[in-house]
Amino acid sequence: MGGFLIKLFVKDWENTSDPKVRERYGKFAGVVGIISNLFLCILKILIGLFSKSIAIVADGINNLADASSSIITLVGFKLASQPEDEDHPYGHARIEYLTGLFVSVFIIVIGVQLMKTSVDKILHPEPVQFSYITAAVLVIAILVKLWQSLFNRSIGKKINSVTLAATAADSRNDVISTGAVLLSLIIGRFTGLQTDGVMGCLVALFIIWSGIQLVRETSSPLLGEAPDKELVASIMKTVLSEPGVLGIHDLMVHNYGPGKIFASMHIEVDADGDLMKSHDMIDNIERHVKESLNIEFVAHMDPIRTHDPLIRKMKGVISQAFTPMEGVDSIHDFRIVPGPTHTNIIFDVVLSPDCRLSESEIKEAADKAVKAVNVNYYVVITFDKAYTSLGSKASYPL
């Protein structure tokens, strides 16, 4: 049914990489959430008052809150689709992450409120009237919420939306909470035990825990998380497919929201080759990455000498010295500058984020290795952090 509705109401629904189509998906999901949650809210509150069940009333109020979060989702997608301006040259797409974070916090608040209500119900229990109509309504509510969860999760995956992923999790929580209410009614009907409050507490704990997990997931892009490994692999594949690329390093990916990704990379070329041809190759790579991956891509050209036997020898010496050192990923920009009294061996060292070695320890190991070849050799090292994992595709992996 969800697929049918999408085809009916979302124009150009297959083109999910288009920001305008993403906006249509988000708005449509928001409208569906508002309508279905308001329906459940009214239905549950009426049934809850009839059966004197605080849990059912609380569940209905929770659906009202869900309708409010759907409104926020709707507004969030609209704001996130705004074009770039002077104050925000990278666009407003990160508003979608803020919307997802708000929904996640909202889930925690709902869980806390449900916990308070449930504790009060335990301290001041009241008989809950069971009826088959009430049970039937709750079953319908569970089915609607289950459909909502699957619907939002499906759209969230289609357009890679953390907001809709959070909304899907919220609907899943509602399935569990409403199921717990139904279970407490059945237990009360056949055993006489009043488990309304206890069930509410258990559900509240689950909702709070779920909300905390969602806060972590939705805040991660705002803090600056590592780029998607598949995206990194796609960039590398596109770059390395170009003849003339000898090595790559210093790939950095900046995510300013869905459809707003900027990346830069250093690409090594033969220093003895034609400069204009190498520059043209770099231009082609930048264009191919942008067209195929929808990424604003900038490449820096690094000329390297490939035929100098001394450079090849000293690269091997340095690589061998660093091989047993955990956290030292690779070296690049390797060059040798001779002088009248000494020779500088200059290169960059890429360190993994979890490297526990100090820069002085690494430099000492390199110094020791080169002086074993010639006492007049000195190392000059620039230390870089690995913002992405290039693995064996790095310039000189260790």
CATH of the domain at 335: 3.30.70.1350
Q: Which of these, 341, 338, 332, 344, lies nearest to 378 by C-alpha position? A: 344
Q: What is the 3-state secondary structure (H, E, C) of 241-265?
A: CCCCCCEEEEEEEEECCCCCEEEEE
State whether 205 and 231 are in the same domain: no
Instruction: Kindly list the distances between the CA atom of residue 242 and the CA atoms of 174, 246, 266, 284, in Å, as whole numbers in the listed order.
Output: 51, 10, 14, 9
User: What is the model's pLDDT at position 398?
Assistant: 56
- Rounded Cα distance between 329 and 325, Å, is 9
Give the CATH number for residue 86: 1.20.1510.10
State whether 20 and 133 are in the same domain: yes
Percent of the chain that is helix, strand, coil (3-state, to 5): 60, 15, 25
State whether 214 and 272 are in the same domain: no
User: What is the model's pLDDT at position 321?
Assistant: 92
- Rounded Cα distance between 176 and 183, Å, is 10
- In sequence order, the 6+-apart residues with CB closer than 8 A to the CB of 112 are 204, 208
- Rounded Cα distance between 107 and 167, Å, is 9
Please tell me the pTM assigned to this model.
0.71
Residue 261 φ then ψ, to 5° = -115, 130
How many domains does the chain divide into?
A: 3
State whether 130 and 200 are in the same domain: yes
State whether 234 and 218 are in the same domain: no
State whether 137 and 265 are in the same domain: no
- Rounded Cα distance between 152 and 35, Å, is 14
State whether 162 and 20 are in the same domain: yes
Cβ-in-10-Å burial (0-12, 13-18, 19+) of 110 comes to buried
State whether 67 and 168 are in the same domain: yes
Last residue of a domain, one of 202, 223, 244: 223
Last residue of a domain, one of 176, 200, 223: 223
State whether 87 and 11 are in the same domain: yes
User: What is the model's pLDDT at position 13?
Assistant: 77
State whether 288 and 344 are in the same domain: no
State whether 322 and 347 are in the same domain: yes
Kindly list the averaged pLDDT for each block of 10 residues, start to end, along the chain of length 398.
72 77 87 90 84 71 80 85 87 87 86 87 77 83 92 90 86 86 83 80 86 88 86 92 89 88 92 90 95 92 86 91 90 88 92 90 93 94 83 53
Last residue of a domain, one of 270, 303, 336: 303
State whether 186 and 117 are in the same domain: yes
- Domain that includes residue 76, residue range: 2-223
Q: Which of these, 163, 217, 145, lies nearest to 30 by C-alpha position? A: 163
